[in-house]
Amino acid sequence: MGRYVIRRLLFSIPVLFLSSILVFWVTRATTDPSTALRTNPRVTAEQLAEYQAELGLDASLPEQYFTWLGDFVTGKWGTSLISNEEVTGDLMDALINSAVLGITATVVSLVLGIAIGLYSSLRPYSKFDYVATTGAFVGLSMPVFWFALIVQLVLGIWLTRWVGANEPIFFIAGVTSPNPEGFDLLDRTRHLVLPVIVLSVQVVAIYSRYFRASMLEVLQSDYMRTARSKGLRERRVILHHAMRNALIPITTQLAIDAGAIAGGLIVTEQIFSYPGMGQMFLDAFDLGDYPVILAWLMVTVIFVIVFNLIADLLYAVLDPRIRYA
């Protein structure tokens, strides 16, 4: 296992290197921070050249790339052209916010999805199974932005009026209330509930369908009949033999979802004005803030590679038959 992990980490180095070249080339080809100055008639050519030299844009593209790569590896991610703040600090704040939202939604979705999928697989074609199947299709077919607006209207605005509360029971924007005094868990939770519901509705549907199909296949396996023929209790057969193998497809999807958290949950964060990675990328892209875009893309690539490695390692834990040379 140790040799496999080391080999995968070594293989990840050229992947990251090629990804960094692609990220830098695409970003520099689509963003030019001096565009506004070029179109300003009051800016002279000398001032434009001075600005480009200050940002290092007067060097050749390979020189710019290797300078940026060296700075990124050593943790010098530069300064935002818009806020004039260190990119590292802004990126970490956005990453933490997205991680809190994404992990909470993933945990909720995983628990509900596995529970629904397990019960449906143990009682296939029952009333519960038909209701769960219909609910999953409805959840998958709803556009996220439309469902987010409905949730904001019903649970964020109408519910407050129905109960006659002086302030919203669930907030529809932001991370905390204005001017917070320290960390308030209840306040943070009331801001998280609605975006978590929006994110979970489709993920629960996906997990429940994956797990139901996987469990039905596992329950028909020869080793399940062997386990029952040995006189093992049904609960032990389900929990220790069936569920472990049925979790493998879920693990693949979970790794993809976890890696995507670093990329931000763009639609949900934008609708709920949630200051995460998704909203940060949209703001940086709109304003041509390329130091932020470069760091954002590389952090996202690193997260995807790391979580795919974690998924590969979990396969061996869930299924002892899988061995790595």
264, burial (CB in 10 Å: exposed 0-12, middle 13-18, buried 19+): buried
Q: What mean pLDDT do residues 70-93 have?
A: 86
Where b means 16+ CB within 10 Å and e means fewer, 49-73 reads eeebeeeebeeeeeebbeebbebbe
**Angstrom distance (rounded) from CA 269 to CA 279:** 6
Residue 189's pLDDT is 92
Q: Which residue has the higher pLDDT, 45 or 230?
A: 230
261 pLDDT exceeds 70? yes
Length of the chain as a residue count: 325
**Average per-residue pLDDT in the chain?**
85
- Residues near 246 by Cβ (< 8 Å), separated by ≥ 6? 121, 211, 214, 215, 217, 218
Quick one: CA torsion of 266, 269, 270, 271, rounded to 10 degrees? 120
For the chain, how big is the Rg over CA atoms in Å?
25
48 pLDDT exceeds 60? yes
Express each pLDDT in 144-201 by its tens digit.
889 999 999 999 999 999 988 888 899 998 888 887 777 888 889 999 999 999 989 8
Give yes or no for a contact between 114 and 207, defined as CB atoms under 8 angstroms apart: yes
What does pTM read for this prediction? 0.81
Nearest Cα residue to 201 out of 129, 281, 142: 142
**Angstrom distance (rounded) from CA 322 to CA 313:** 10
Q: What mean pLDDT do residues 316-324 have?
A: 66
CB count within 10 Å of CB 4 equals 15
Express each pLDDT in 87-142 by its tens digit.
888 889 998 999 899 899 999 999 999 999 999 999 998 999 999 999 999 988 88
Residue 213's pLDDT is 92
325 pLDDT exceeds 60? no
Nearest Cα residue to 91 out of 254, 267, 255, 303: 303
Give yes or no for a contact between 194 and 170, defined as CB atoms under 8 angstroms apart: yes
CB count within 10 Å of CB 143 equals 10
Structure tokens of 298?
């590389």
Structure tokens of 295?
């760091």
Structure tokens of 36?
């506004």
Express each pLDDT in 196-217 by its tens digit.
999 898 889 999 998 999 999 8
